Amino acid sequence: MARPPPAGAISARARPVILSGLWHSRQRKGRAFSSTRDLIAVLNTVAPQVLEDPHFLERCLLLDGVPASVSPCDLIQSILGVQMAVLVRDSQTGFRIGLLIFIDAIDSAAVTIQTPREGLYATCTPRKGRAFSYMRDLIAVLMNTVAPQVLEDPHFLERCLLLDGVPASVSPCDLIQSILGVQTAVLVRDSQTGFRIGLLVFFDAIDSAAATIQTPREGLYATCTPATWHDEEVSRSYILDGVADEFVRRCTARMLRSLLPSQYILADEDGEFHLRCVLIGAGRSPISEGAYGLCDLAWKVLFARGYVVAAIVHRDRQAGVLVYDDTESTELVARRAPHLLKKRGLQLFDSSLFPLLADPADRDATLLRRLLPQCVIDDDESYRRRVLLFTGLDTQKLDAADLAHFLRFETDLVHTVEAVIIHRSEGLIVVVLGSSEDTMYLLQTPEETCMDTFLWTET
């Protein structure tokens, strides 16, 4: 293979096109990783303290095609969040291979989906194999609900690609529609970076191989690696581990499903509604203060930001779920899980592991049953006397957390509110109270004190 023209032989404007386009796409996949040992040796000389962190590679990016005119200081000053940079010469090309160590893994992940500054480097790649730690989760999700029939082919991993650095705004449907030959796609959260890890299953191994040498559409994902990058025995263990995990998670999956109105799932066209959810379970302590308490700890402890669409707590206070307007609001919540357990004695479940598929029977259910969680309906027939429909509010702009706060501090309810649910597309707000006595109290409250409320009566 011919070497690329030396630096200076072509214009600065044309050079990145050649490096990141025709020439670079033909390089052996992962070529830069052959220099990792040399980079670590240099790092050990210039900054040995970095190696004291056993997980420092999770904050690293490998750079390929760094021009000879670029110094480590240039990289540190030009790329946000870089703590340290080292460079070694690539004798095959005349360019350099670089290792960037970031202060935080989030900064590292953000750089992988950005277009590199002209003349700085050709490509950047996360530590190869890091995404494979999520493989058992991806297999479990694939088997759980998305496409269990795929596992009938014992060699299906030969048709798979593992994606790293998938932005929170990208859904499984986006991947299927944007990449040729994809049969199905699943995503799970990367709690360290706020991005996602994805698994693409292709109809044919040829399509899978073709995707590995194509430049990804900007903003779709950072890197892709064949799922069989490890040897066959390791690949087989991914499947076995994923199948075992799926059986363990069934109970949690049923719990999440019971807390959510089926109307939400029926309206989920992109297959990512579960990624908008934060599922919290009782650990050493039950969930207190009902819907308001759930919103309060999400704001103060989990640092979740964004509009809350629903806050629902099971009547036994052993589980609760928050639903947000968008997936971006939930992506970094998992990083705060240890703080949640320490401060409140609760545990956080990763809802990305529990995709939700619509049950065709739900479409024939009555409106009330579609708008309420199954755990409320299954409680007893008296639930109708605890359900209120609120009117006179702008459902498109309302935050369920604000309504939960109002009911907690601006009214004299005896029991905690179990659920505040906003159905934006239907223009409806449903509140589940703790008792029928609280229902009668709100209905008798003057309009100037409380917004209009109506006891739900179904026709």
Q: What is the predicted pLDDT for the residue at 3?
A: 38
Statement: residue 50 has pLDDT above 60? yes
H-run or E-run covering 282: strand 277-282
Place 33 in a pLDDT band, splitting at 50, 70 and 90.
Answer: low
> Which class in CATH covers the domain with range 28-127?
alpha beta
Least confident of 49-53, 241-245, 326-330: 241-245
User: Is-same-fold flag (28-127; 132-246)?
Assistant: yes
Highest mean predicted confidence (pLDDT) among 17-31, 167-181, 331-345, 375-389: 167-181
Q: What is the predicted pLDDT for the residue at 450?
A: 59
Highest mean predicted confidence (pLDDT) among 3-7, 144-148, 440-444: 440-444
User: What residues pair up with 420 in beta bridges, in sequence order?
Assistant: 311, 431
Tell whether the torsion through CA atoms of 139, 261, 328 and 221 is positive or negative: positive
Q: What is the predicted pLDDT for the residue at 304?
A: 85
Statement: residue 451 has pLDDT above 80? no
Q: What does the alpha-carbon distance between residue 24 and residue 224 come to, in Å, rounded to a whole number?
A: 15
H-run or E-run covering 39: helix 36-46
Q: What is the predicted pLDDT for the residue at 2?
A: 39
Average pLDDT, integer, range 105-116 = 74
Q: What is the predicted pLDDT for the residue at 417?
A: 96
Q: 331 with 222: CB under 8 angstroms?
A: no
Q: 237 with 135: CB under 8 angstroms?
A: no
Domain layout of the chain by residue ranges: 28-127, 132-246, 260-456
Q: What is the predicted pLDDT for the residue at 121?
A: 86
More confident site: 260 or 305:
260
Q: What is the predicted pLDDT for the residue at 35?
A: 66
Q: What is the predicted pLDDT for the residue at 344?
A: 83
Average pLDDT, integer, range 105-109 = 77
Quote the DSSP letter at residue 288.
Answer: P
DSSP strands (E only) in 35-91: 60-66, 82-89
Q: What is the predicted pLDDT for the residue at 215?
A: 73
Q: What is the predicted pLDDT for the residue at 379?
A: 66
Instruction: Indicate whether this model's pTM tops 0.85.
Output: no
Q: What does the alpha-carbon distance between residue 227 and residue 214 come to, in Å, rounded to a whole number?
A: 17
Statement: residue 8 has pLDDT above 70? no
Least confident of 157-161, 171-175, 188-192: 188-192
Statement: residue 459 has pLDDT above 50? no
Question: pLDDT digits over 60-77, tens only?
Answer: 888 888 888 999 999 999
Statement: residue 22 has pLDDT above 70? no
Least confident of 39-48, 208-217, 228-237: 228-237
CATH of domain 132-246: 3.30.70.330
Q: What is the predicted pLDDT for the residue at 449?
A: 58
Q: What is the predicted pLDDT for the residue at 34?
A: 59
Place 11 in a pLDDT band, splitting at 50, 70 and 90.
Answer: very low
Statement: residue 448 has pLDDT above 80? no
Q: What does the alpha-carbon distance between residue 199 and residue 239 come to, in Å, rounded to a whole number?
A: 13
Q: 60 with 50: CB under 8 angstroms?
A: no
Statement: residue 180 has pLDDT above 60? yes
Percent of all residues in the chain with a pLDDT value above 90, rounded to a whole number: 28
Q: What does the alpha-carbon distance between residue 256 and residue 265 come to, in Å, rounded to a whole number?
A: 12
More confident site: 302 or 31:
302
Integer CA distances (angstroms), 222 to 126, 199, 274, in order: 8, 13, 23
Statement: residue 125 has pLDDT above 50? yes
More confident site: 316 or 217:
316
Q: Which residues contact 393 (CB under 8 A, 6 or more apart)?
A: 403, 429, 451
Closest CA to 38 of 91, 87, 100: 87
Q: What is the predicted pLDDT for the residue at 283?
A: 81
CATH of domain 260-456: 3.30.70.330
Q: 355 with 173: CB under 8 angstroms?
A: no
Percent of all residues in the chain with a pLDDT value above 70, rounded to a whole number: 85
